[in-house]
Structure 1
Amino acid sequence: MNDDTPQPTAQPALQPVRGAASIAITGLVLAGAAWVARAVWQVRLATAGQPSSGLPDQGNGRHRPLTGLEDAYHIVTSLGDAATLLCAVAFLVWLVRVRDNARVISGQPPRYAGPWVYLGWIMPIMNLWVPRGIVADVHRQSAPGERLPRSVNWWWGLWLAGMVSGVGLMYADSTDDVIARAYSDVRLLLLADVAVVGAAVAGVLVVRALTAAQQRPPRPVSAGR
């Protein structure tokens, strides 16, 4: 006997995100610690003062031997860059998962196409708002009717502040150039460090908030909305 009654289509299962969230949080903590270490060494460089032999990069392709403190800063910077890269990869893995889950929960396509999850961070001008927009869209689809967590705005505001106040310039310049800045005026470097560490802390709260939103039943939205 054939059963011609149409069967309901099963909703795709949500991807597990707790593990990805834990790894992303660990990455953010490590990246924040790396920037704290940078700040400590920059203060040490500023306190020690420029050696009588001048800056490490003496122009015309000439470099003097590094002092012990300068050499240590190179090591701290290299380790910090590695930690930041791992953090970025872990955060993107988590973001892709919660974005896919948000689409399943809401039944609606995301506001930004898939490539923007990656391109949004590196495209000039677009990187000023696209990553925050993706995170906000995930929350809107995962928890309809709920206010966007304040941590999202703190995270993005501090990240942009860090970029504007020196992080982008630090990545564009060599480590020896950053050492020269520490000797001349360390304050701008420290402002960037504080902003990035604050962004990492707020990022932890963002990951926790969006992950939690996908672990609980959706809140019903009133018919008038």
Structure 2
Amino acid sequence: MNDHIRPPAPAPTPALRPVRGAARLAVAFLALAGVAWAVRAVWEIRLAVTGEPASGPPDQGEGVHRPLTSLEDLYHQVGTAGGFAAAICAIVFLLWLDSVRDNARTLSGKQPRYSGFWLYAGWLIPLANLWIPRGIVADVHQDSAPGERLPRSLNVWWVLWLIGLASGVGLMYGDDTDKIIARAYTDPWMLLASDAAVIGAAVAGISVVRAVTAVQLRYLDGGVRYNGSPV
């Protein structure tokens, strides 16, 4: 006799921005940046093994630069290509972060802890860039999946990113290429350690993008819980 009583309709899923395509691009360009830094490391090893020419480093001081060897010239090209890859990776990553941040605000119903200004400036302002970008990503995950633990890859990514910055040859605060060449001749191990940190940050960043995207795809794809890679 209760056939006429219908169960309450489920609450509508809030309108969210699509994130799968942005996540795939972010993963692809993080991988490309990691490969670019791996190639850079190979060239630094080649420079170290070849040894500094008798004429000294490329930067002779007081504005004087000697002609580059073929290996040094190729390193300049590798560095330029890596710089372009890193710049595009940064743009694509921020576009993805803007999308998932918007969705997190919709899902949680509250304003983000950091304003939109910090989404971009937080990476550039000294001291603030030590914690704000990580905080933005952490907030996105927590607002999208309340009560769930943050992915372990988040801290791994951030620690390796900071090591890359502190080294002076990371993705953002790079030395002049001729100075890096001189360091490759005299002290390659610090360069290679920095390269390893940047490559590791790229790999961990891929895991972060996948983890954050997965929790939002549960809503975008009708409540499906992802146990594997969503992108």
Structures share fold, TM-score greater than 0.5: yes
Gaps of at least 5 residues in structure 1 are 1-8, 220-225
Q: Tell me the residue number matched to 1:20.
A: 22
Report the secondary structure of 2:137's partner residue: helix
TM-score by length of 1: 0.90
Q: What amino acid maps onto 1:194 in structure 2?
A: A
Report the secondary structure of 1:166's partner residue: coil
Deviation at 1:166, TM superposition (A): 3.2
Q: 1:120 to 1:218 in 2, by over 3 A?
A: farther
Q: What amino acid maps onto 1:81 in structure 2?
A: G
Q: 1:24 to 1:172 in 2, by over 3 A?
A: closer
Amino-acid identity (%): 63
Q: Give the whole-Å Cα distance in 2 for the aligned partners of 1:145 and 1:200.
A: 27
Q: Deviations over 1:89-111 (max 9, x none)?
A: 00000000000000111111111
Q: Tell me the residue number matched to 2:39.
A: 37
Q: What amino acid maps onto 2:27 in structure 1?
A: I
Q: What amino acid maps onto 1:17 in structure 2?
A: V
2:167/2:194 contact within 8 Å kept: yes
1:143/1:218 contact within 8 Å kept: no
Q: Give the whole-Å Cα distance in 2 for the aligned partners of 1:52 and 1:12.
A: 67
Q: Deviations over 1:110-161 (max 9, x none)?
A: 1111110001000110000000000000000000110000010110011011
Q: What amino acid maps onto 1:174 in structure 2?
A: D
Q: Tell me the residue number matched to 1:70.
A: 72
Alignment counterpart, residue 168 of structure 2, candidates 162, 166, 169: 166
Hey, which bits of structure 1, 4+ residues long, moved more than 2 A? Answer: 9-12, 165-173
Gaps of at least 5 residues in structure 2 are 1-10, 226-231
Q: 1:167 to 1:173 in 2, by over 3 A?
A: closer
Q: Tell me the residue number matched to 1:57.
A: 59
2:170/2:194 contact within 8 Å kept: no
Alignment counterpart, residue 114 of structure 1, candidates 102, 116, 121: 116
Deviation at 1:168, TM superposition (A): 4.9
Q: 1:88 to 1:80 in 2, by over 3 A?
A: same
2:169/2:175 contact within 8 Å kept: no
Q: Give the whole-Å Cα distance in 1 for the aligned partners of 2:175 and 2:136.
A: 30
Alignment pair present for 1:128 and 2:119: no
Q: Tell me the residue number matched to 1:214.
A: 216
Q: Give the whole-Å Cα distance in 1 for the aligned partners of 2:101 and 2:172.
A: 31
Deviation at 1:10, TM superposition (A): 7.5
Q: 1:144 to 1:196 in 2, by over 3 A?
A: same
1:39/1:193 contact within 8 Å kept: yes
Report the secondary structure of 1:58's partner residue: strand
Q: 1:30 to 1:64 in 2, by over 3 A?
A: same
TM-score by length of 2: 0.87
Q: Give the whole-Å Cα distance in 1 for the aligned partners of 2:148 and 2:12.
A: 27
The number of residues matched between the two structures is: 211
